[in-house]
Structure 1
Amino acid sequence: MRAIRGLRQVLRRSTTRSSSLCPTRSNSLSLLATALVVAMPATAQAEQSTRFDIPAQDLAQALDLFARQSGVQILYPYRMATGRRSAPLHGKMSARQALARLLRGHDLAVASFTGHVVTLRASASPPARPHAPRRPVPTPSRVTHPVPLPPPAPAADILVTGRAAATPLSAPELSYALTEIDADTLARHGHLSTADLFRQIPGFWVEATGGEASNNIRSRGIPTDGYSSVALLEDGLPIQYDGGLGYLNTDQVFRVDATIDRVEAVRGGPSAIFAPNAPGGSIDFLTRNGLHDPGYTISAAIGDFGYERVEGFAGVRVAPHLGIALGGFYRADDGLRNPGFRADQGGQVRAGITYDDGSVRLSANVKRLDDRVILYLPVPLQFGDRGDVQAIPGFDPLFDTLAGPNNVHVAFKTPAGPQDFDLSQGTHSRITFYSLTGRAALGERSAVEVKARLRTGTTTRNGLFPIGRPSTGADYLANAWPQLAAAFPGAATAQIRYAESGKPLTPQSNGNGLVVGANLLAVQLPMDEFIGDARFTTRVDHWGDHDVALGVTYADTSLRYDRQMSTVLLDVTGQAQRLDVVALDGAGRQVGALTDNGFVRYGSLFDAVSLHASNLAVYLADEWKVTPRWRIDMGARWERTLIGGGVEGAVPVDLGDPATLADDAVLSCNGVVRRIDRSFAGLSGTVGINYHPAPATGMFLRFTRIARLPSATEFSALPDRTDEAIVPITMWEAGLTALHRHWTLSIVAFKTDFARLPFIDHRFDPETNTYIDRISIADTTTIGLELSGHADLFGPLQLDVQATLQDPRYRHFNFVELVDGAPATRDVTGNQLIRVPKLSVRATPSLDLLAKKLRISAELVHYSGRYADIANTQRLPAFSMLNAHVNARLTDHLSLALHGTNLTNALGLTEGNPRTGSFDSGVAGARYFLARPEFGRTVRMTLNLSY
C-alpha cells in the first residue's frame, strides 16, 4: 500500500525575532517536536530498504526529513537536535541504518524503535560538539523537566496562525511575515502592558502610553486606531470579534500572564482571511495546558511605583490523555503617573482541561477577569523659545497626571438627581470567557475542528479627558467675561477660585497660574458575545500537494453603550483641583458664577445606545506545494454583517439654579429612539507565492484585496450617517528570509492602499462645551520596508534588530474650515499620516555570561518625527529611549529578572490631544498644548520559581 503523507506537528517555542528567524522550541521530551504519521503496515517497516536523500543541515530538520522519507513517527527533544549539524545521508538502506548514521556523533540515542514510532532520548555520555553554533539562550521564566511519556504519547497541540493547515512550515517556506514571541521572552522583557509587547513586531506602530489597557496599534500605515485593523486571538479564536468598538478596545479585556505559552503575530498577509477585522495583522496568544505542558510556575514582582504582582501556573497530566491546568495573576500599583489613589488593582484566573488521544482533541477553559486600570491621557506641555518641547513649571510630564483625589467621587447634577462619578474606577473590566475547542481526525488526511467562545460581563470606563489647551487665568477670565456680564448684570469683575477651599488662583498656587478644561467621562459597556468557528481540512495529492481548509465563522454581539459627561475647569498641576469662575460686584461680593463646584457644564454629553451585530463569514484556503521549492497559497473570505439597535435622542434641560450657568443646558434623554438597521457584505482574497531555493533561504510575493466592513459603534452617535460603506484595501508585500549558523535576517517590503475611508474630526469646542463633528472621505497609501535580524557577533555578544521604514501619506483629502468666518476648502493631500513615524528602530545588544546563567541586554529605541493632526501643523518631535534588562539563573528552578525602562527619562510624545481636532489641532503658534508622552523611568524586579 502506498504511503500516505501525514501531518508534521511541531510545538514551536521561539525567540522574539521574526518567524522568518531561526525558531527555538521545547527543552523537554514531553513537548513533542515532530510527528510524521504514514499509513503503512507496522511489520518490517523498520527493516525494509528505502532510498534516502538528506543533505547536510540542521539535525532537527534532517530528522524531520528522515521521518518523511522513511514513513515513521519520530519523537525527540527538539533542543538537543536544533543547532547541531548533521552529516549528509544518501543511498538505499533500512530506516534503522539511516537513523544510526544521522545520530552518529550526536548526544541522542534510540530509546525505542517500533514499526510506526521512533523515540529518541539523550545519550548517557554526550560527545563534545566543537562545531556547534552559538545560539541565544533565553533566561528561564520556567524550567520544565521531562515527565514520562504515556504509551502512545498524544500529539502536541499545534496552532499555526494565518494558515489553512496545522502542518508547520520552516520560516523560509512561509509566504507571509510572522513574528513569534515565546514564554521565556515574555518573562525576559517584563512588558508593562499587552500593547507594550507588540513594540517588538516590525511594521507595528504602538502607542502604549495609555497604561495597561486602552492603547493604540497601527500596522503598515493603516490609518485606523485602537484594534480596528489588528485582531487579537486566543488559541486561534478572536478575543473580541470587532476590536475597534468605540470605548472598548480588545486590550481592555485581555491580560498576559503565566497561562500564555507563546505569541504568533501575522503581519498583513492572510490574516484578513482567517480572522475578522484584521487587514493589518492578527496576533494569536497560545495558552498552556496541563497535558502537553505540565509543570508549576510562580513569580512575584515589585516595582518603584508601588508595583506588586504575583502570578502562577500549575499544569498536571492526570491520565495518559488528560491534563488540567490552573493559573492567573493579581496586581496592584500606585501608577506610572501617580494619581493619588490606587491606579491599577485586580487580576484574572483561568482553569482548563485538555483531552488528546492523538485522533480526538478536546479542550475547555474558563477565564475570569476582574481588573481596573487607570487610563492615562494627554498632559500639559509648552514650547520653548526655540520650539522645543518642555515641561511647564509645577507639572512633571513624565510622572504627573491631572487625575487626582479631588475628582474622585464628585456628583454629576442630572434631571433625575445627583449621580456619583468615581474616577478611581478607571477602566474596570469584569468579564468571564468560556472557551471550548475540539478536533477530530477523519481518516489520515482530513479533520474537522470546532472552536467556540462565550463572553459575558461589563466594562466601566471613567476618565479625565483634558480638552482645549492650557491658558493663563487672566486669558480664561477675559474669554469668559462677556458671558458672565450678560448673565449677571451686577457683575463688575470676575475671579478664579479653588472650588473646595475658595482661595483665589495665583501663579504661586500651582507654580504657573495656568488653567485647563477637562471632561469627566463615565461609560458603561455591558456586552455579551458568542463566537464560533468550524473548519474542515483535508490533504489532496493532485498536481502537487494541497492542504485545503473550508471554514465558517459566526459571531453574535449584544452591546449597551451608556455615556455621561460633565466638563470641569482645573488648575495645571499634578493631581489637579477643580476651579470656580465667579462674578463679583463692585464691593467684591459674589453675584453669580460660570461654574458650580468646578463644573463648567453638567451633562455636556449624553448617549444611550443599544447595539446588536450579527456576523457570518465563510472562508476557503489552499496551500499548494507545486514542487519541493515552489508553493502557492490562496485564500478567500466572504463576510456579511447585520447591525441593528437604537439610539435614544438627547435634549438640553435647565435645572433652574439661577446662581450658576453650569446647569443651564444639561443633556438628558428625550425618549425618542432612532433605529439602526444596516447590512454590509464584502469579499476578500489573497494569493502568495513562495520560492524556497535552499533549506535556509526563502522568498515570497503576496497580493491581498480586502473589503473592510463598518463597525457597529460607528453608528452609536450618528445613527443616520450615510458615509459608511465598504472600504477597499489593497496590499502588496514581498519578503526574503535567510538563516545562517550565526545570523538570521528577514526583509519585507510592503505597499498598502486604503480607498474611500471616512475620517471624523471629533473636536470638543471649549466655547460651547460640546463636541463638533465633521467628516471627510479620503484615501491613503503607504510604502515601507520591515527588517528583523539576529547576529552572534563575537564571544558572548549578540545583537537583535527590528526596524521599519515607511512613507505613509494621505491622498485625495480635503476638508472645509472657517477662515475669517467664511468656509474654505483645505487640501492636505500628500501629508504624513498622523502619529505614525517614518522610521522606527529597536536594537537590542545582549551579553550571555557565566556559562549563560547571566544575561544582560539593552534596548535602544528610536522613533522619527510625527504629526498630531492631519494638517501636519503640530509636530511630535523625534525621540529615543534606553531600556535595560538583567536576567539571572540562580538555580535550576529559580531565576531573577530586573527591568528598567526609559532610563534617561526621555520626553517622547506619542500623540497630541485628539479632542482639539484630528484634522487641525489648532495649536500652531500657541505656547501651551496637550500631548501624551512616554512614561518616566521605572525599575521592576521579578523572582520566578519553576518546576
Structure 2
Amino acid sequence: MKLRVSIAALCGAAISALAVPAYADESKDGDRLTAWEASRAPQDDSGMIATGVARARDRLDSATSTSSLLEGDITRIAPTSLSELFRNIPGVRSEAGVGTTNGSYTIRGLPLVSSGAKYLQLQEDGLPVLEFGDFLALTADTFTRADLNVDQIESIRGGSASTFASNAPGGVINLISKTGEVEGGSILASAGLNYEGYRSDFDYGGHLSDTVRFHVGGFYREGNGPRHIGYTADRGGQIKFNVTKDFTGGYIRFYGKVLDDRNAMYLGTPISVTGTNSDPHYHDLTGFSANSDSLLSRYIADSPVMDENNRLTQFNVHDGLHALSKAFGLETKFSIGEWSISEHMRYADQSADASFLFPIAIGPIITAPALAGAPGGSLVYASGPLKGQNITNPTTINGNGIAVLTNPIHIKFRSANNFTNDLRVGRVWNFGGGDLTTTAGLYTSRQEFHSDQAVADALQDVRGDGGSALFDVVKADGKSVTQGGFLDFAGPVGSHVSRDVDYTVIAPYGSVNFHRGKLALGASVRVDTGKVEGTIRANEPTDVQTIDINGDGIISDAERTFAFVPFSRDMPVNYRYHYVSYSFSTNYRWSESLSSFARYSRGARAGAERLLFSPAISRVDGSLLNKKAGYDPVKQAEVGLKYRNNGVFFNLTGFWAKVRETNTQLQPDANGFTTQQLVSRGYRAYGGEIEGGIRRGHFNLTGNATVTNAKITAAENPALVGNKPRHQAALIYQIMPQYDTERFTIGADVIGTTSSYTQDINELKMPAYTTVGAFVQIRPIERVELSFNVNNLFDVKALTDVSAASMPANGVTLAQTLYGRTISTALRFYF
C-alpha cells in the first residue's frame, strides 16, 4: 500500500532527525512541558486568536466572533468525523451522519442550498484544504482528518473572514497542528464496543536544539464503521510532520502530509412517516434501523458502466470514497526593521474515487414492475443468498414490503490538486497618540477539478444489518426487463459527465487598525479576481449503446442503455468574475475583563462547480450568460459583547445577513423522485449567538446557543418568498459539563436543535432533537489514560435531511440521520 511506504519513509526521516545530537541546555529542557504535563495543565481558549485576522491579538481587543476547541475537548468528544466534531462550534449547523467525509456545514443562518460548505471555509494551518468546499461528492473534509496532530481548532464567524480569506464570507474553521513546543508524545489505541472499528494514533515532538523543533504524528484505522453494512468499509490513515527553525524575530517551518484513507458514504435512509405535515412521526421500518443500518450491503457491490474512455468497466460500491493526498508547505514569519513579513504556501496533490449508492425514490416493492414498464410482471432476487429465487410475498417481504430505486454512482476525481500562497506585510506605526497597524497581502491559488462520473439505476429491497439485495423485474413472457438488478446503465439524463476545469484566484488585500486607549477602529478590503477555464461534456438521451454484459446472447431491456459521452461534445468553460469585499469595525474595551464591538461587512463566494452544465454558462463559448451568477454576495452586520474574568467568560453577539444565491439543489419532483434543479434566490437572516463558560475548582461548564430567524426573500418560484429555508432551525445549542480530578474526568456533551422544514415549500417538518454524549477518562497511574465514550447515549432519532417535501402518500420517505448510539473505548500512553 502506498500509504505504508510513505509512512515508512517519513518515520525513517523522523528517526534520522532524532539521531541528531541535541545541544539544548539541560536546564532549559527541564523547563519545557512534557506531553503528559500539557494534557493535565488547565486549558484556556479565551486568550489570543490568530485565524482570520491581520495579526494575532487578544480576543477582547478584536472585533471578531471566535472560538476554539482544544485537544482535550476533541479527545473527550471522541468524534467519528469532522462533521460530528463541528456540531460543538457556536453558530455552526453541521449535518452529520453521512460518514467520515462529505459533511454539510453552514453558519449563522446562511443558506445550505446544496451539500458541502459554501460559505464556511475549512483550513489546515491557515490555508484552505480546497478553494471551494462544496464540490459534488468532494468536500473539504475529504482530505482532512482530526488526529493527535491537532493542537486546537480555531473558528472565526461573521464578516471579518470576508477580507482575510477568499470564498469564506461566513467564517473559517482552522485545524492548527502541534509544532513541537511540548516534549514527548503519546500512543492511543481505540475500538468500537458496539460497532466494528479499530484505530491507532501516535504523535511525538520536541526540540532537537534550542532553535530547532519538530512534530510528527498520524493514525491508521480499519473497520465496518458506525452503521451495519456487512463489510470492511473504513480503512487507511495519514501521517503529518513539521520542522521549525526559530531565529531572532521569527521562524521558518516546513511541513508535509500523506493521506490514504477510504470510508463508506451513507446517503439516504428509508424511514416511515405518519401523522401530519406539522406534527409528523418518523419510525423505523420493520427489519431496518434508520440510526444504525444503511442501504449499503455486502450483497451489492459491482456496477457495470462506461468509463471516461467509453469502454465497459465496473466499479465496486464497497470501495466507498478513497481519498489520496500528498501535501507539503512552507511557513515563515520574520522582521526587517519595523516591518513584519509572513509567507505561507502549500501544494497539495489530491485525488479521490467515490463509489456509493444514492437512493432517489422509495415505495412498496409491489409497484416495481409498473415502474420498470412491465405491469403484471414478477420479481426475482438478483443478488444475495436468495439469488434466482422468486419473490412470492412482495407485500410482506422483509416485514416491510418496501423497495428503493437507487443510483449506484462512481465519480473518479482525477485531480483536485491545489496550490495556495499567502504573502503578508505589516507594520505598527505611532500615530495620533496610538498604534496604527497596517497590513497588505496578496493571496493566490489554483484549484483543479478534473472528474468523470457514471451513474446507473438499480432496484433493491430494504433490509438491515447489511443484508439488502438487488432484484430483477421479469415480464409475463419471461423476458427480464432489468439485468442483475439494474433497471438501466444510464441513470438520469446528463448524469454521465466529465469535468476538466481549473480555477485561478488572485486577491490582493489590506487592512488598517487604529488602537488608542480603550478604542480600536478597523477597516479592511479584499479584491478577488477569478478565472475559470476548461471543458465539460455530458451525455444526451440518445448517447446509449447495447452491450450483452453476461454474454448469454439475449439482450435485456437494461442492456440497451449503456450511456456514454461522445468526445465530440466538449463544451468550453471560459469566464471571469471580479468582486470587492470590505469590512469596518470598532472595538471598545471598557475594562480589563469587558469589551464590545460592532462590524459591517460585505463578502462573496464564487459559484464554482455547481454552475457547470447550468443555463448560467454559454454552451457555445463558455462565458457567463448571467454575470451575477459568477459569485454570490453576502452582506453582514454584527454587534457583540465579551466578558472574561476569574474563570468565567461569555460572548454575546447579534447578527444580520443578506445573501444572493445561485446554486443547484436536490429536490423531489411531482412523482417523488429526487432530481437536481438550478435555483436562484435571495435570503435574509438575523439572530443572536451566546457562548460562555465557568470554571470552579474541579468543575467546568461550557455551552453555546444560536437563535436564528431566516427567510427566503426572492426565488425563481414566487410561492417560496417569505418561507423559511429548509433545515434552518430557530435554535441550536450545546452544553458540556465536566468534572476533572487528578485521577478521573467525567462529563457530557449535550447538543440539540428545534424543528425545521424538510424543504423550502415549508410543509413537512423535521422534529426537534437533543443528543447526549457521555465520557469518562480514568488515569490509574501517571502517563496512562483509559477512556470510555458514548455518542447519542439515548439512541435518539435525529434527522438532518428528509427528501419528501410533504407527507408522502405511501407513508415512506428517504432521510439522513445522525448515528445511533455508538460506544467506544481508548487507551493512551504518554511518553
Change in Cα spacing, 1:871 to 1:385, as seen in structure 2 (3 Å) is closer
- Paired residue for 1:833? 725
What TM-score, normalized by structure 1, do the two folds share? 0.77
- Paired residue for 1:499? 382
Equivalent residue runs for 1:244-323 within 5 Å: 244-290=134-180, 292-304=181-193, 305-323=195-213
1:214-254: per-residue Cα shift (whole Å, max 9, x none)?
00111011113412211112221222222222321100100
SS of 2:416's equivalent in the other structure is strand
Number of equivalent positions: 763
Separation of aligned partners in 2, 1:811 and 1:348 = 44
Is residue 711 of structure 2 the alignment partner of residue 711 of structure 1?
Answer: no
Q: Is the 8 A contact 2:252 2:330 kept in 1?
A: yes
SS of 2:259's equivalent in the other structure is strand
- Counterpart of 1:365 (choices 255, 268, 272) is 255
Shift of the alpha carbon at 1:767?
A: 7.9
Equivalent residue runs for 1:528-927 within 5 Å: 528-543=417-432, 544-574=434-464, 575=466, 576-585=468-477, 590=478, 592-604=479-491, 605-625=495-515, 627-651=516-540, 652-655=543-546, 659-671=555-567, 672-715=569-612, 719-720=617-618, 722-723=625-626, 724-755=629-660, 757-763=661-667, 773-792=676-695, 796-815=698-717, 827-848=719-740, 851-913=741-803, 921=805, 923-927=807-811
1:430-482: per-residue Cα shift (whole Å, max 9, x none)?
11011111222112x311111110111311111111112x21122333444xx
Change in Cα spacing, 1:776 to 1:309, as seen in structure 2 (3 Å) is closer
- Paired residue for 1:930? 814
Q: Is the 8 A contact 1:613 1:712 kept in 2?
A: no
Change in Cα spacing, 1:656 to 1:245, as seen in structure 2 (3 Å) is closer
Residue type of the partner of 1:653? V
Shift of the alpha carbon at 1:142?
A: 4.0
Change in Cα spacing, 1:743 to 1:764, as seen in structure 2 (3 Å) is closer
Residue type of the partner of 1:687? F
Separation of aligned partners in 2, 1:160 and 1:349 = 25
Q: Is the 8 A contact 2:130 2:447 kept in 1?
A: no
Separation of aligned partners in 1, 2:229 and 2:439 = 51
Separation of aligned partners in 2, 1:929 and 1:264 = 38
More displaced, 330-339 or 884-893? 884-893
SS of 1:248's equivalent in the other structure is coil
Shift of the alpha carbon at 1:417?
A: 5.0
Change in Cα spacing, 1:306 to 1:924, as seen in structure 2 (3 Å) is closer
Q: Is the 8 A contact 2:700 2:738 kept in 1?
A: yes
1:408-427: per-residue Cα shift (whole Å, max 9, x none)?
23433679553121112111
Q: Is the 8 A contact 2:35 2:183 kept in 1?
A: no
Shift of the alpha carbon at 1:653?
A: 1.4
1:848-887: per-residue Cα shift (whole Å, max 9, x none)?
3xx4432211222221111121112231111121211112
- Paired residue for 1:946? 830
Equivalent residue runs for 1:320-339 within 5 Å: 320-339=210-229
Change in Cα spacing, 1:401 to 1:761, as seen in structure 2 (3 Å) is same
Shift of the alpha carbon at 1:601?
A: 1.1
Change in Cα spacing, 1:559 to 1:774, as seen in structure 2 (3 Å) is closer
Separation of aligned partners in 2, 1:865 and 1:690 = 36
Change in Cα spacing, 1:184 to 1:622, as seen in structure 2 (3 Å) is same
Separation of aligned partners in 2, 1:209 and 1:296 = 31
- Paired residue for 1:31? none
Change in Cα spacing, 1:759 to 1:357, as seen in structure 2 (3 Å) is closer
Shift of the alpha carbon at 1:742?
A: 4.6
Shift of the alpha carbon at 1:165?
A: 1.9
Q: Is the 8 A contact 1:873 1:924 kept in 2?
A: no
Change in Cα spacing, 1:768 to 1:272, as seen in structure 2 (3 Å) is closer
More displaced, 596-605 or 885-894? 885-894
Q: Which runs of 4+ in 1 moved over 6 A?
A: 119-122, 764-769
Ranges in structure 1 where 5+ consecutive residues have no aligned partner: 1-110, 113-118, 123-139, 147-157, 486-492, 816-825
- Paired residue for 1:52? none
- Paired residue for 1:418? 312
Q: Is the 8 A contact 2:157 2:172 kept in 1?
A: yes
- Paired residue for 1:388? 281
1:5-33: per-residue Cα shift (whole Å, max 9, x none)?
xxxxxxxxxxxxxxxxxxxxxxxxxxxxx
Is residue 524 of structure 2 the alignment partner of residue 524 of structure 1?
Answer: no
Separation of aligned partners in 2, 1:440 and 1:792 = 37
Change in Cα spacing, 1:861 to 1:217, as seen in structure 2 (3 Å) is same
Shift of the alpha carbon at 1:896?
A: 2.0
Residue type of the partner of 2:296? A
Change in Cα spacing, 1:666 to 1:852, as seen in structure 2 (3 Å) is same
Separation of aligned partners in 2, 1:885 and 1:944 = 15
Shift of the alpha carbon at 1:572?
A: 1.2
Q: What RMSD over aligned residues (CA atoms) do the two structures have, in Å? A: 2.6
Separation of aligned partners in 1, 2:675 and 2:86 = 33
- Paired residue for 1:183? 71
Shift of the alpha carbon at 1:761?
A: 4.0
Residue type of the partner of 2:625? T
Separation of aligned partners in 2, 1:447 and 1:607 = 48
Separation of aligned partners in 1, 2:76 and 2:120 = 25
Separation of aligned partners in 1, 2:136 and 2:359 = 19
Q: Is the 8 A contact 2:143 2:259 kept in 1?
A: yes
SS of 1:873's equivalent in the other structure is coil
Separation of aligned partners in 2, 1:382 and 1:612 = 43
1:244-271: per-residue Cα shift (whole Å, max 9, x none)?
2232110010001111111110011311
Change in Cα spacing, 1:934 to 1:121, as seen in structure 2 (3 Å) is closer
Separation of aligned partners in 1, 2:670 and 2:757 = 23
Separation of aligned partners in 1, 2:449 and 2:463 = 37
Separation of aligned partners in 1, 2:119 and 2:310 = 40
Q: Is the 8 A contact 2:162 2:602 kept in 1?
A: no
Separation of aligned partners in 2, 1:504 and 1:326 = 57
- Paired residue for 1:105? none
Change in Cα spacing, 1:691 to 1:385, as seen in structure 2 (3 Å) is closer
Shift of the alpha carbon at 1:717?
A: 6.1
Ranges in structure 2 where 5+ consecutive residues have no aligned partner: 1-26, 41-47, 549-553, 619-623
Change in Cα spacing, 1:631 to 1:882, as seen in structure 2 (3 Å) is same
Separation of aligned partners in 1, 2:36 and 2:382 = 53
Q: Is the 8 A contact 2:545 2:560 kept in 1?
A: yes
Residue type of the partner of 1:243? G
Q: Is the 8 A contact 2:771 2:794 kept in 1?
A: yes
Separation of aligned partners in 1, 2:652 and 2:30 = 36
More displaced, 275-284 or 236-245? 236-245
- Counterpart of 2:336 (choices 424, 433, 442) is 442
Residue type of the partner of 2:424? R
Q: Is the 8 A contact 1:141 1:184 kept in 2?
A: no
Separation of aligned partners in 1, 2:747 and 2:646 = 21
Q: Is the 8 A contact 1:143 1:892 kept in 2?
A: no
Query: Highest Rg: 1 or 2?
Result: 1
Q: Is the 8 A contact 2:686 2:710 kept in 1?
A: yes
Percent identity of paired positions between Structure 1 and Structure 2: 22
Separation of aligned partners in 2, 1:431 and 1:202 = 30
Change in Cα spacing, 1:926 to 1:748, as seen in structure 2 (3 Å) is farther
- Counterpart of 2:125 (choices 218, 235, 238) is 235
Residue type of the partner of 2:205? G
Shift of the alpha carbon at 1:284?
A: 1.5
